[in-house]
Structure 1
Amino acid sequence: MRDNVTLLAGAEQVDAAPWLPFDPRAVDFLAELSAEVLRSPDTRRQEASAAFGFWCRRARLEALAARHASPLPRLGRGLAFHLAPANVPALFAYTLAIGLLAGNANVVRLSSRRMEGEAPLLAALRRVLERPEHAAVRARTSLITYGRDDAVTADYCARCDARIVWGGDATVAAVRAMPMPPHAVELCFPDRWSLAVFSQRAFSALTPEERGALAHRFYNDTYQMDQNACSSPQLVLWLEDGGDPACRGRWWEAVAAEAAERYPFGPFQAARKLERLCLCAMTMEEPAVAAVERYQGNLLYVARLAGLSGNLPSLAGGFGLFFEADLPRLEALAPLLPPKAQTLVCGGLEPAEVAALLARAGARGVDRVVPLGQALEMDTVWDGRDLIAALSRIIG
């Protein structure tokens, strides 16, 4: 291993022999990791780490194995090299888990900027990897960190059988320029943004208790990661299907009340939110920012957009800055969605019906349609791709 590469967990040199997808050794390891994460106070109190622990419970893994069962034999591709992002907590663990479940050995590079925040989850992973019964998984797992060094990244790319890049458009473009073996496959997850559509009629009928419960779920979708996740909604479209428009203000008041209880709001978050609002107000021509409402002081800003037409621009809220606009009818949604739109969160609407409508309309954007509270829930189908299928091969 190079001098400037630090091994965080696992082996310095990995055994890249492919396994069957959902190999019992991989499932056993992840199930024990789940128990360790949910048992340890250090990880249990971190929302992102606890969510990962819940995600890789044995029952969930067995359900995923049934979902991805193939009539033909499959094998992992060999060595998968992952570049995890700096701005999404615990994503390094998800990408490692998916690589393992697909039957691969894995080298996962963590950003040095995330070391402090990821330390408890890394420690839990290290403890489970070091148990004798998981020696085989440890031999095919390497979690590393290094500073920005294209030569190191290029070296790993030159030796991998699969490359998984989580990052912004510039990162994806830079890594794509680095050669891989001709047989290697690549999965890139560049900049995306997400939105929500809420039924005005349904939200008008909510009791205060129901509204508070939905606001709790919306907080989990957004504030929990400062809206940095690509799947966190930045824009709320209000479907004008009846009801009382005053329900919108009541909704945002409930969201602000939830944030007041849970969000660690400080000068940094306040400054970044104001900066992003000013930037949008100055640079957005269509749709324009028509008005801004504040809730709980500056804990929540809602920028109202006017004049939706054509593809929506990429909207960058964050730290409690949201955009909202009217949607006259559900059929008007598909033409607004650009390819960069990733997740659509539904409130008061049936996600399966909305997904079917978008498919019939040939929408160019949105790969996931989920109910409130599930925007950040990782899946083995992501950005419209079956990750287990992509990271394994069929022997026909």
Structure 2
Amino acid sequence: MISLAPRITGQGLSIESWFTRGVEPLSPMNDDNLAFLEALSNDLMKSPSAKIHPELVALGFWLRKRNIQNMFESTLRQTSKVMHKPLGTVVHFTPANVDTMFVYSWVCSLLCGNNNIVRVATAQSDIKDVLLNTLDRLFQIPQFSVVAKRNWFISYDKSSGLSGQLSSFADARVIWGGDESVNSIRALPCKPRCRDISFADRFSATILDLRQVDESQSLEDLAQRLWRDTVPYEQQACSSPRLVYFLGDTPVLLSVLARLNELASQTEISITQKNNQLVTMQLAQSTDADCEILMQDRVCAISVSGITETMLGWHNGEKVFYVRHLDEPEAMFTDSLDKLQTLSYLGLSEHDKLKVLSHPSISGIDRIVPVGQALDFTPVWDGFDLVGQLCRKVSIF
């Protein structure tokens, strides 16, 4: 059963009729879409209900008109040699555990001019409710009717079979979720030229050269930036660090963790979180003879001799960090890092970064960013150029 999430544009339409009703996509960087995103940005940054959620404030800031223009105008500029055209209709299958991350890929598709159907997870979330209510309110403004009728947010039970119907009409599918969920969607029949963009299971790490940090102010700043990468989405975003590699002395790391724990003390901690931390610690201790618990409080830090896929599978967020000391950055590649998405860093030189990326065994790492910027979304994400994937590039000779 399709349910309102919170409102279906064109309510009463069937899946098939929505695709066949003759509403053409808009041109890339269309004025109507730009005006809508500017209004959404203003609402998220000013609304009292949105301002209590850092993720929504960050989204509103990202949607600022100048930022959107800087990121997309040069890429989607029409010239005498190149024209960008929308694909048609893009279907987005969103994750249940990262409430707002899907909006970024939807915005990329919107700016490419596509019509969009966004399947929103049925799991309840205050952040998601605020976001969808904000979208709903804007969709009902007559000025944005052109945008509203081209964008449909729906929710339905996975067992309903509607994912198959959506896939059969899609010109592209953006699929967020775990490996199993992604594979189940990709197995559904689709058009021969349908494009799939899959954001499957990934994890991220940070590498800190603490030999260059020796002042309390620097430690405080580092903790603030690490916290900024950790707290949104309950550390469940693929780009939130779960591993901390460090070079330097352990006491310096402990000072950073202590400051991070002070920041965490400003948030509530549940019995479930404490239990999950305890289970993760016990599992790590049972498989790693050199395992040492560095901190067990609001923040849980577990020193390990190496990282395996099994250990990563135990990690459910909850402000848990696996910690490993390195003598040199390249030593991290003795771990299982095939699914490593983002490596945030402190103190790495350009030479260090290039040396890490040129390591022969590397099969992960799609981006390297300074600590504090791990969650900053760009149109190139998980190794995908979303603008290039979500529009057609017509060459003119």
Instruction: Indicate whether the TM-score tops 0.5.
Output: yes
CA change 1:382–1:355 in 2 (3 A) is: farther
Contact 1:277–1:317 (CA<8 Å) still a contact in 2? no
**1:290 counterpart residue number:** 291
**2:300 counterpart residue number:** 301
The CA deviation at 1:150 is 5.0
Match of 1:53 among 57, 60, 66: 60
**2:258 counterpart residue number:** 253
Match of 1:21 among 16, 23, 28: 28
The CA deviation at 1:30 is 0.7
For residues 386 and 16 of structure 1, the distance between their equivalents in structure 2, rounded to whole angstroms, comes to 27
The CA deviation at 1:57 is 0.6
Q: Which amino acid aligns with 1:342?
A: Q
- 5 Å-filtered alignment, 1:263-278, equals 263-278=267-282
Q: Which amino acid aligns with 1:277?
A: M
Match of 1:218 among 217, 220, 226: 226
CA change 1:354–1:11 in 2 (3 A) is: farther
CA deviations on 1:50-99 (whole Å, 9 max, x unpaired) are 11111111011000123424551011111100011111121232232122
Contact 2:117–2:153 (CA<8 Å) still a contact in 1? yes
- For these two proteins, the number of residue pairs brought into alignment is 381
**2:15 counterpart residue number:** none
The DSSP-based 3-state class of the residue aligned with 2:158 is coil
CA change 1:179–1:380 in 2 (3 A) is: same
For residues 270 and 290 of structure 2, the distance between their equivalents in structure 1, rounded to whole angstroms, comes to 25
Q: Which amino acid aligns with 2:252?
A: C
**2:359 counterpart residue number:** 361
Q: Which amino acid aligns with 1:142?
A: W
For residues 158 and 365 of structure 1, the distance between their equivalents in structure 2, rounded to whole angstroms, comes to 32
Q: Which amino acid aligns with 1:78?
A: G
| Identity rate, percent | 27
- 5 Å-filtered alignment, 1:128-143, equals 128-143=138-153
**1:372 counterpart residue number:** 371
For residues 64 and 86 of structure 2, the distance between their equivalents in structure 1, rounded to whole angstroms, comes to 22
The CA deviation at 1:5 is 3.7
CA change 1:248–1:257 in 2 (3 A) is: same
For residues 273 and 171 of structure 2, the distance between their equivalents in structure 1, rounded to whole angstroms, comes to 40
TM-score (norm 2): 0.89
The DSSP-based 3-state class of the residue aligned with 2:244 is strand
The DSSP-based 3-state class of the residue aligned with 1:112 is coil
- 5 Å-filtered alignment, 1:171-210, equals 171-203=181-213, 205=214, 207-210=215-218
Does residue 124 of the first structure (1) align with residue 121 of the second (2)? Answer: no
For residues 223 and 302 of structure 1, the distance between their equivalents in structure 2, rounded to whole angstroms, comes to 15
Contact 1:6–1:146 (CA<8 Å) still a contact in 2? no
CA deviations on 1:110-139 (whole Å, 9 max, x unpaired) are 111034431111111111222212111111
For residues 151 and 307 of structure 1, the distance between their equivalents in structure 2, rounded to whole angstroms, comes to 42
Match of 2:98 among 78, 88, 96: 88
TM-score (norm 1): 0.89
Contact 2:6–2:133 (CA<8 Å) still a contact in 1? no
For residues 111 and 65 of structure 1, the distance between their equivalents in structure 2, rounded to whole angstroms, comes to 28
The CA deviation at 1:372 is 1.3
For residues 377 and 394 of structure 1, the distance between their equivalents in structure 2, rounded to whole angstroms, comes to 26
The CA deviation at 1:149 is 2.2
For residues 7 and 200 of structure 1, the distance between their equivalents in structure 2, rounded to whole angstroms, comes to 46
**1:279 counterpart residue number:** 283
**1:35 counterpart residue number:** 42
Does residue 232 of the first structure (1) align with residue 240 of the second (2)? Answer: yes
The CA deviation at 1:20 is 3.0
The CA deviation at 1:154 is 0.5
The CA deviation at 1:101 is 1.5
For residues 157 and 292 of structure 1, the distance between their equivalents in structure 2, rounded to whole angstroms, comes to 47
List runs of 5+ in structure 2 lacking aligned partners: 11-17
The DSSP-based 3-state class of the residue aligned with 1:314 is helix
The DSSP-based 3-state class of the residue aligned with 2:6 is strand
Q: Which amino acid aligns with 2:259?
A: A
CA deviations on 1:176-210 (whole Å, 9 max, x unpaired) are 1101111110001110011010002123x2x2222
Match of 1:160 among 156, 170, 174: 170
Q: Which amino acid aligns with 1:220?
A: R
CA change 1:164–1:314 in 2 (3 A) is: same
For residues 216 and 200 of structure 1, the distance between their equivalents in structure 2, rounded to whole angstroms, comes to 15
The CA deviation at 1:355 is 4.1
The CA deviation at 1:338 is 2.6
CA deviations on 1:318-367 (whole Å, 9 max, x unpaired) are 212111112211233456463200010102235x5554333333421110
* Range moving further from structure 2, 11-20 or 226-235: 11-20
Contact 2:329–2:356 (CA<8 Å) still a contact in 1? no
For residues 317 and 277 of structure 1, the distance between their equivalents in structure 2, rounded to whole angstroms, comes to 12
The DSSP-based 3-state class of the residue aligned with 1:328 is coil
Contact 2:245–2:332 (CA<8 Å) still a contact in 1? no
The CA deviation at 1:238 is 0.8
The DSSP-based 3-state class of the residue aligned with 1:143 is strand
Contact 2:176–2:199 (CA<8 Å) still a contact in 1? yes
**1:344 counterpart residue number:** 343
Q: Which amino acid aligns with 2:347?
A: G
**2:14 counterpart residue number:** none
CA deviations on 1:120-178 (whole Å, 9 max, x unpaired) are 11111111222212111111100111122251110000111000110001101111110
